[in-house]
């Protein structure tokens, strides 16, 4: 049990980042599905709408709770620059994956599967970039 607690302490930031990301991923996915089904936009537009709302929540929680930084112009600049990278990654994966999957399964399921694939790729890349850049902020 002590070993598990030591591992949790060692990886607290990573685990916190994962927890915040999972919550905001759920929010992004729900918003994307609402835009897709209620407004009739395509998967990429719906995904982008979800990302924008989810990212605002994610920024506030990650900056304060994970990286222990105050919300300021440096952290905003870091987050916005990596945000655009994340949007590019996610929309590219969603666009390609949903186009492929829609041929085999319905649109909602293809969107959800492609969304989670895009989140996994974006998560790994942005976490490491943000961790590095936030470590440079005083």
* Angle subtended at Cα 19 by Cα 71 and Cα 106, rounded to the nearest 5 degrees: 115
Q: What pLDDT, on the 0 to 100 scale, is given for residue 37?
A: 93
- Is the C-alpha dihedral spanning 121, 125, 127, 128 positive or negative? positive
Q: What pLDDT, on the 0 to 100 scale, is given for residue 5?
A: 83
Q: What pLDDT, on the 0 to 100 scale, is given for residue 15?
A: 87
Ordered alpha helix ranges (H), the chain: 2-10, 12-34, 43-61, 73-101, 107-135
- Up-side HSE of residue 102: CA atoms within 13 Å toward CB? 11
Q: What pLDDT, on the 0 to 100 scale, is given for residue 50?
A: 92
Distance CA 60, CA 15 (A): 17
Q: What pLDDT, on the 0 to 100 scale, is given for residue 118?
A: 92
Q: CA separation (Å) from 4 to 10, 12, 18, 65, 79? A: 10, 12, 17, 22, 31
DSSP 39: I
The list of the chain residues with pLDDT below 50 reads: none
Q: What pLDDT, on the 0 to 100 scale, is given for residue 33?
A: 92
pTM for the full model?
Answer: 0.72
Q: How many domains in the chain?
A: 1
Which domain covers residue 119, as residue numbers? 2-135
Kindly give, in sequence order, each residue whose CB lies less than 8 Å from that of residue 90, ignoring residues fewer than 6 positions away: 47, 51, 115, 118, 119, 121, 122
């Amino acid at each position: 049990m002590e070993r598990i607690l030591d591992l949790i302490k060692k990886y607290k930031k990573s685990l916190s980042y994962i927890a915040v990301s999972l919550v905001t991923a759920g929010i992004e996915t729900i918003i994307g599905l609402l835009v897709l089904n209620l407004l009739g936009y395509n998967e990429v537009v719906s995904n982008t709408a979800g990302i924008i709302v989810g990212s605002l929540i994610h920024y506030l929680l990650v900056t304060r709770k994970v990286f222990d930084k105050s919300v300021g112009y440096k952290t905003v600049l870091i987050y916005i620059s990596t945000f655009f990278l994340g949007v590019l990654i996610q929309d590219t994966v969603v666009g390609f994956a949903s186009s492929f999957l829609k041929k085999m399964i319905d649109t909602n399921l293809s969107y959800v599967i492609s969304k989670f694939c895009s989140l996994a790729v974006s998560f790994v890349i942005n976490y490491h970039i943000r961790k590095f850049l936030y470590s440079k902020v005083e």
